[in-house]
Structure 1
Amino acid sequence: MNFYHFTPAVLDGGLGTTLEDVFSVDISHTPLWSAKVSAEKPQTVVASHLGFLRAGARIILTSTYQCSLSTYRRAGYSDMDAIISMRDAVRLAGEAKVIYAKEKLDSVVKIALSLGPFGASLIPAQDFDGCYPPPFGPAEYSASASNYNSFSGDVEMENAAVEALTQFHLERLLIFARDPTVWGMIDCVAFETIPLVREVKAIRQAMSLLLRELSADDLLFKGKPWWISFVFPDGQCPERQYTGGMPVTASDMVYAALQWEPAPVKDATRRVAIMPIPSGIGINCTPLKFFAALVNEMSEARISMRGPQDSKPWLVLYPNGGDTYDPVSRTWSVREESNKHSWAIDFGRLVKEISSTIIPNVWSGVVCGGCCRTVPEDIIALSQVLSLG
């Protein structure tokens, strides 16, 4: 099951921050972020998608990262309006794909459904910290008290949190999957910026339940790949502690994503089914300086896994532009950089090194692009670096 025909396959950049930086749209004062622009200025979103396609991206992510019914309710939308808006965001990516195909006679563009973590639906956002309120986690984020995101050995509460997160992700998936036209436009599903082991497990359970609902009479799901990308804001997993008080590592995230485990439901023959394994795993919205060490750790973890799960997933890498985000003030601290193309040069060289040394033995291929604070100009530069010998 492949994401793409080529490796490296080029992904787009940061859609939300491109709307801010290139199209001068303020998205910082709404819980919906780029989804707000999809509803109110749809052609601006189309233009942003086109900017990345013209820059060399062949996989574009939909403007649905923050989308969930709870997020739309907080923004004052009815559930019906929310569902319409979420599906329309996919159609906007489809519109950009059609326009670009007519311009370049290029039909190999893929659309990835962007789904952020539960933390993306919270205020302040908890993508990078994973401090989730019950039942999704042990405690919500506090600006004045110590924060923690682990149950510290309480297995019952941990399992309840996994179940709550499973239902959150399944609810969103079903909004798209129950519209055959929209679901058919989606080439792959991207679960992005996942900070916690329990959420990785919940996503896999949600995909298992989705497969159970769709497999009987909907063939559109067959062959649709999906990935889970983790976030390591300071080079480490945001989940500092878990059962037994041991630190969570990038290896733990790999094991949670790729190990064969029983599914939450039995298959049609009443046998215990196996939770689906993602077609790819990776890293996103993490500073580039941490990628080399993290990729090495993830690759070693993958090599250490033996048994029937030895199929090779894709490696999906899209670092942020290097700026630092404050989720409370919703502002960016801009990096100082003498060469505006150094991000693309350094990242492109890393991807080429990974492709020539690690990929053949561990991964099926690599998908690479940018996350927050990367714009079409960065993808142009990255594409140029990758195209060099």
Structure 2
Amino acid sequence: SREILILDGGFSTQLSHNVEEKVDGNPLWTAHFLYSDPEAIVKTHLDFLRAGADVLITNTYQASIGGFMEHLGLSESESYNLIKTAVQLAKQAISAYNEEEKNSKRGVRKILIAGSIGPYGASLHDGSEYSGNYVEFVSEEEIKEWHRPRIETVVDAGVDLLAFETIPSQKEAEVLLNLLKEYPQQRAWISFTCKDEFHTSHGETFEDVVSKCSKINPSQIVAFGINCTKPKFISSLICDINSNRLEKIPLIVYPNKGETYDVEKGWIGAENCKPLESYIPEWLDLGVVYIGGCCRTQASDIEKIKAAVEKWTLQDDV
């Protein structure tokens, strides 16, 4: 049977249990807490490890050299160091967790750190990472140069792999896949945001995007998939990706909890959402190997996801 790795959940959702102040609303979003409350970052990672996560995603989604210089008044080198700190805090959480677990029956398990590389649009603070429309007026070169320093920094800090995540368009994905070639030892996954059952946020057919992108840099990519998207869209987005392939593409899925974000009211519609864990068997049947949660999911959700994966694995082994 194949190995299925459990990812963590929505960092900001879990972080909100560990800090007094509001997480949303800061232009640096959760990255601001790397500076103001590193202890809370470690606690949040630990919450996910205790819930059963095999992969921690660093708190660097909204981190950028320019953003830290502008909003925290840091120098360029201090900004680089703060991004490195994000990786160190994840390592600290793993050490603390291993210390807790070393005498348990379960024993110490291998935990990976994935360096979060969010889209260029996240730095624009206008929600455009969910439409990807900036690829029409920002050059590929500019997107590449914007991504490079953060990639370099988390690679230097010693992540196990890179998480190119919440990517809205094929163009930005291609930029990242080509940029990755400059770090030949490094592995990555790439996951897109999708606006419905068939299309990326920018409007390309998801299946076509995966098919094209999978040819660019196959040796360095561990999985293709979807995050920060409604769970009800996932199955139809991924169901045909491997249907005619001898060489299967490994899939990664970490959707939102399912509510809709309303600028005035915040997250609405929770009462109409099926529990996230109820989708798990279907996704695993479709070949998903990395599975977790994104916005609005917390450690308790990851626990339920892990339980659903374990249940499915037992049935699969029979």
- In which range does the TM-score fall when normalised by the shorter chain? 0.7 to 0.9
Match of 1:92 in 2: 89
Q: Which amino acid aligns with 1:292?
A: S
Aligned counterparts of 2:125 and 2:85: Cα–Cα separation in 1: 24
> What is the 5 A alignment of 1:1-389?
7-20=3-16, 23-75=19-71, 76-105=73-102, 106-132=108-134, 137-138=136-137, 161-177=139-155, 179=156, 182-183=157-158, 186-211=159-184, 221=185, 224-235=186-197, 236-240=199-203, 248-260=204-216, 277-300=220-243, 303=244, 311-326=247-262, 332-337=266-271, 342-354=274-286, 359=287, 366-388=289-311, 389=315
Aligned counterparts of 2:46 and 2:2: Cα–Cα separation in 1: 20
Tell me how far 1:276 sits from its aligned partner.
5.6
Kept in 1, the 8 Å contact 2:90–2:113? The answer is yes
Tell me how far 1:57 sits from its aligned partner.
0.8
Aligned counterparts of 2:87 and 2:18: Cα–Cα separation in 1: 21
Q: Which amino acid aligns with 2:127?
A: A
Aligned counterparts of 1:25 and 1:192: Cα–Cα separation in 2: 26
Task: Report the secondary structure of 1:111's partner residue.
Answer: strand
Aligned counterparts of 1:171 and 1:276: Cα–Cα separation in 2: 23
Aligned counterparts of 1:325 and 1:30: Cα–Cα separation in 2: 17
Stretches of structure 1 that go unaligned for 5 or more consecutive residues are 139-159, 212-220, 241-247, 261-273, 305-309, 360-364
Measured at CA, do residues 345 and 27 of structure 1 come closer, stay the same or move farther in structure 2, by a change above 3 Å?
Answer: closer
Aligned counterparts of 1:119 and 1:325: Cα–Cα separation in 2: 18
Match of 2:105 in 1: none
Q: TM-score, normalised by structure 1?
A: 0.72
Moved over 3 A (4+): 21-25, 274-277, 310-313
Q: Which amino acid aligns with 2:148?
A: L
Tell me how far 1:253 sits from its aligned partner.
1.6
Q: Which amino acid aligns with 2:28?
A: L
Kept in 1, the 8 Å contact 2:8–2:293? The answer is yes
Kept in 1, the 8 Å contact 2:231–2:276? The answer is no
Task: Report the secondary structure of 1:298's partner residue.
Answer: coil
Aligned counterparts of 2:241 and 2:163: Cα–Cα separation in 1: 18
Aligned counterparts of 1:275 and 1:12: Cα–Cα separation in 2: 25
Tell me how far 1:333 sits from its aligned partner.
2.0
Measured at CA, do residues 130 and 225 of structure 1 come closer, stay the same or move farther in structure 2, by a change above 3 Å?
Answer: same
Q: Which amino acid aligns with 1:172?
A: R
Kept in 2, the 8 Å contact 1:31–1:123? The answer is yes
Q: Which amino acid aligns with 1:298?
A: I
Measured at CA, do residues 299 and 332 of structure 1 come closer, stay the same or move farther in structure 2, by a change above 3 Å?
Answer: farther
Kept in 2, the 8 Å contact 1:173–1:210? The answer is no
Q: Which amino acid aligns with 2:260?
A: T
Q: TM-score, normalised by structure 2?
A: 0.88
The share of aligned pairs that are identical, in percent, is 30
Measured at CA, do residues 387 and 210 of structure 1 come closer, stay the same or move farther in structure 2, by a change above 3 Å?
Answer: closer
Task: Report the secondary structure of 1:26's partner residue.
Answer: coil
Tell me how far 1:85 sits from its aligned partner.
0.7
Q: Which amino acid aligns with 1:234?
A: D
Q: Which amino acid aligns with 1:210?
A: Y
